[in-house]
Structure 1
Amino acid sequence: MSKNRTPDDEPQEAAEAQAPKIDLSEEELVALCKAHVCAKCAVMAEAEDVKLRALADNENFKRRIQRETDEVRRYATESVLADLLPVLDNLALAIEHAGSDPACKNLVMGVEMTRKIFLDTLKKHGLECVGACGEAFDPGVHEAIGTVCQPDKEEGCVAQVAQAGYVLKGRVIRPAKVLVNKGQEA
């Protein structure tokens, strides 16, 4: 016997000498351990549950961040476009007030062309004008500022537009201020 050996070591050494040598890779050893020991272990099951919940929370977080990022990108120009709306209003007022004065004909034509180019450019960025006369009143895109009685128009439709409204990719930037037809007076 060597000096570090104890009598208790002899049965263990005898068992090791009789046991066949098994050569397993690291992955095989882990899989074997999980299959025979850890499958019945409550701590392992709880750890697996915690891991799955953490993975699910992480995926939900990624999806939410992606959705928020997409929305920020989609509506990033909203404040700039909203600041440009008074320019469109002033161009429309210039056209309206010039009327049919022959002296202003060329100036009005230039303002109309400028307004059209401006609207086309804004449309490329997703801005659309809402609130035309004759369309049904929709409180989602219209703001009623009063009522009028026009027998030639349907009840509940837009009779007159006081200020155009605008929608950016489905989101109302400014509702159209309209007068709604209430039908025939009693």
Structure 2
Amino acid sequence: MTMEKDMDTVEMNETTEAANTDAATELTLTDEELRTLCAERVCPQCPEKAEMEDQRLRLLADMDNTRKRLERDKDEFRKFATEKVLADLLPVLDNLDLALKHAPTSAECKNFVLGVDMTRKAFLDALSKHALEPVGELGEEFSPEIHEAVGQEERTDMEPGRVANLLNRGYRLNGRLLRPAMVMVSKAPEA
């Protein structure tokens, strides 16, 4: 009988210890931990849980929007990081164009002019690898979006409002206008 009594005492002590451990656990939980436990186990339809879920979804959406914006900014930076350098190189290209435009046509200068032309083409090819493309051609319709008119020319051989003379070629970088083409615009001769 003492053995039974001892067993009952042991069981009672274990139950008491378990109850004490549970009480100690509850006492050491923070308010946030209690809310989490409540939201997960006690009341799944609890308004507090719905509010927390809504807040979590909003934060996830904000993080996703921020990630997308940063990705767009990074792509934009990558596209136009070379803009200033390329703009600084455009006068070199203009000077090569002028050299070809005013080059003598004599046989002695033929190889020199050919070399300048090849240099210009190689330079333009290198710039086009960085998404730089020329805009503005003789005879095309004047567009203030890509042309800068510096004057008008009376022309009988073309209709009014066309590019009569191309003074400086314009350029686009990744679809954005880097520099407009400087042009003279044709106008009808005065009677």
Percent of aligned positions that are identical: 51
Alignment pair present for 1:112 and 2:113: no
> Partner amino acid for 2:121?
K
Unaligned runs of 5+ in 2: 1-8, 13-35
Q: How does 1:4-23 map to 2 (within 5 A)?
A: none
Q: Provide the residue aligned with 1:48 in structure 2.
A: 53
Offset of 1:74 from its aligned partner? 1.3
Question: Alignment length, in residue pairs?
Answer: 160
For 1:135 and 1:145, the matched residues in 2 are separated by 16
Offset of 1:154 from its aligned partner? 2.1
Structure with the higher fraction of residues in helix conformation: 2
> Partner amino acid for 1:105?
K
TM-score (structure 2 length as normaliser):
0.75
- The correspondence for 1:79, drawn from 81, 84, 90, is 84
Offset of 1:31 from its aligned partner? 10
For 1:107 and 1:148, the matched residues in 2 are separated by 33
- Provide Cα deviations, 1:123-156, integer angstroms capped at 9, x if missing partner: 1221111111011112111111111121211221
Unaligned runs of 5+ in 1: 6-29
- Measured on the aligned residues, the alpha-carbon RMSD in Å equals 2.6
Q: After the TM superposition, list the runs of 4 or more consecutive aligned residues in structure 1 that deviate by more than 4 angstroms.
A: 30-36
Mean Cα displacement is larger for which, 62-71 or 90-99?
90-99
Q: Provide the residue aligned with 1:141 in structure 2.
A: 146
Q: Provide the residue aligned with 1:182 in structure 2.
A: 187
Offset of 1:34 from its aligned partner? 4.2
> Partner amino acid for 1:38?
P
> Partner amino acid for 2:43?
V
Mean Cα displacement is larger for which, 59-68 or 72-81?
72-81
- The correspondence for 1:37, drawn from 43, 54, 66, is 43
